[in-house]
Amino acid sequence: MRNFMYTIFILSLFTGCKDDTGGPTPPSDGPILSTINYDVTESDQDKTLKVNIGFADPLTRSSVLNYELIEQTATAGLDFETQSGQLVYAIGETQKELNLSILGDFIPEETETFQIRLFSSANSFEEKLTTITIIDNDKSIEDLVIPGGTSSPESYPGYNLVWADEFKDNALSSEFWNIETGNGCPDLCGWGNNELEYYTPDNIYFRDDDYLVIQARPENIGFNEYTSSRITTEGKKSFQYGRIDIRAVLPEGPGIWPALWMLGDNIRTVSWPACGEMDIMELIGSAPRTVHGTFHYGPNFNDRQQKGSSYSLDPGQKFIDEFHVFSLVWEEDRVQVLMDDILVQEMTPDLIEPYTYPFNESFFFIFNVAVGGNWPGSPNLNTTFPQHMIVDYIRVFQK
């Protein structure tokens, strides 16, 4: 896979030229096609790529757009399913969605391309070509090294194990987890942080029947240049008090932002930050030896508050090098964030007076790797892709 940032290329607008067949010049006042190129990652499963096809401005008359797929280095029937057809646009429309089938396999391959040819049989607008780049992903997961590192006990005196996910079935349990999709739009574009990624289920992998892997990679979906994954237990698994252990390896690089965190179950009714947020671990990829534990609270977005602290490994060590255990020790009126049993941050009601203390209610889990955003900034030429957060297990103990 290429280790640089992918940018969206707007294709040039053509006027006053003859088409490939030597036919008449399209009318100068005809509709102008406006398309973008797409990157898509091929892995071991077939997937559907949604491509927006259309015009720069709303149409003043109905139009028919013909399309066909053209091989380049990618092969029809092996890398993508061939198709052709027509898209019919009514007056006032601009865009239609075209679904393309990208074929998966287990064979490591080079990056390959094919094109969508867009044309008018009536010669009412200039022909265009949109390029689809298929980035093979088999090799990146195949070569992913699972390191050693810190672990945690399977039991604690006075506690019982009430829930765990050891990720041993090579699939994410729908009984426990939701997979979020999109970029937060239209309600919360950029997920409230001006993030650059588009979340998809396709960035979730499993290794060795024992590890969950969330991958962040450069891949164009619409106007998003990166994809990643975000999973939650909202509505399925939530807890009030206990000890929580999460064993993970963290990614690195400018613009990379992994997080293991919790939100209050009442977020749908009281909103954020009144519901409370507990960040068990966040890492800013440009500082790969430092993790942060933070609590968010406050009555509303305009009066949002936070208290947090950080912990740094010794110089020369990074959280990408081996597993560490990120924990929450949580009881009534007290929560502690730990890293390998070292205290990072503590929260009690007196620390946030006169604000309401929301951390005595039930909370659910969120795991994600964001790309870009207000805090980490954007990836740059020093950011290598793909990046991976590897999770060995999550365990919840209660008294």
Per-residue pLDDT tens digits for 91-144 = 999 889 899 999 988 777 888 999 999 998 887 888 899 999 998 876 678 789
Tokens representing 229? 């994954």
Distance CA 278, CA 302 (A): 19
DSSP state of 268: H
The pLDDT tens digits for 289-307 are 999 999 999 999 999 999 9
Distance CA 317, CA 150 (A): 13
To the nearest 10°, the Cα dihedral for 330, 171, 255, 288? 60
Q: Please tell me the predicted confidence (pLDDT) of residue 88.
A: 93
The pLDDT mean for the chain works out to: 90
Q: Which of 23-32, 251-260, 275-284, 358-367 has the lowest mean pLDDT?
A: 23-32
The question of whether 277 is a catalytic residue gets the answer yes
SS3 for 13? coil
The superfamily (CATH) of domain 38-137 is CalX-beta domain (2.60.40.2030)
Whether 366 contacts 230, CB under 8 Å: yes
Instruction: Summarize the confidence of residues 240-258 as an average pLDDT.
Output: 98
Tokens representing 342? 């070292």
Q: Please tell me the predicted confidence (pLDDT) of residue 32.
A: 80
Instruction: Summarize the confidence of residues 184-201 as an average pLDDT.
Output: 94
- The one catalytic residue in 277, 346, 353, 361 is 277
Q: Do domains 38-137 and 144-398 have the same CATH topology?
A: no
For the cut 60, the answer to whether the pLDDT of residue 253 exceeds it is: yes
CB atoms near residue 115 (< 10 Å) = 17
Contacts of residue 186, defined as CB under 8 A and 6 or more positions apart, other chains included, come to: none
Q: Please tell me the predicted confidence (pLDDT) of residue 23.
A: 52
* Cα Rg of the chain, angstroms: 24
Q: Check the CA dihedral 331-337-339-343 and report its sign.
A: negative
For the cut 50, the answer to whether the pLDDT of residue 148 exceeds it is: yes
Which H or E element spans position 270? Answer: helix 267-270
Q: What percent of the chain has pLDDT over 90?
A: 72
To the nearest 10°, the Cα dihedral for 252, 253, 256, 260? 20
Which H or E element spans position 280? Answer: strand 277-282
The pLDDT tens digits for 4-63 are 333 333 233 233 333 444 455 666 567 788 778 888 888 777 888 888 888 888 988 888
Q: CATH second-level architecture of 144-398?
A: Sandwich (2.60)
Instruction: Summarize the confidence of residues 76-89 as an average pLDDT.
Output: 94
Distance CA 170, CA 87 (A): 39
What residue spans define the domains of the chain?
38-137, 144-398
Q: Please tell me the predicted confidence (pLDDT) of residue 110.
A: 85
For the cut 60, the answer to whether the pLDDT of residue 277 exceeds it is: yes
Q: Please tell me the predicted confidence (pLDDT) of residue 146.
A: 94
For the cut 70, the answer to whether the pLDDT of residue 209 exceeds it is: yes
The question of whether 109 is a catalytic residue gets the answer no
Distances in Å between the Cα of 169 and the Cα atoms of 153, 177, 209 are: 22, 14, 6
DSSP state of 76: B
- pTM of this structure: 0.77
- The one catalytic residue in 142, 180, 282, 322 is 282
The pLDDT tens digits for 341-373 are 999 999 999 999 999 999 999 999 999 999 999
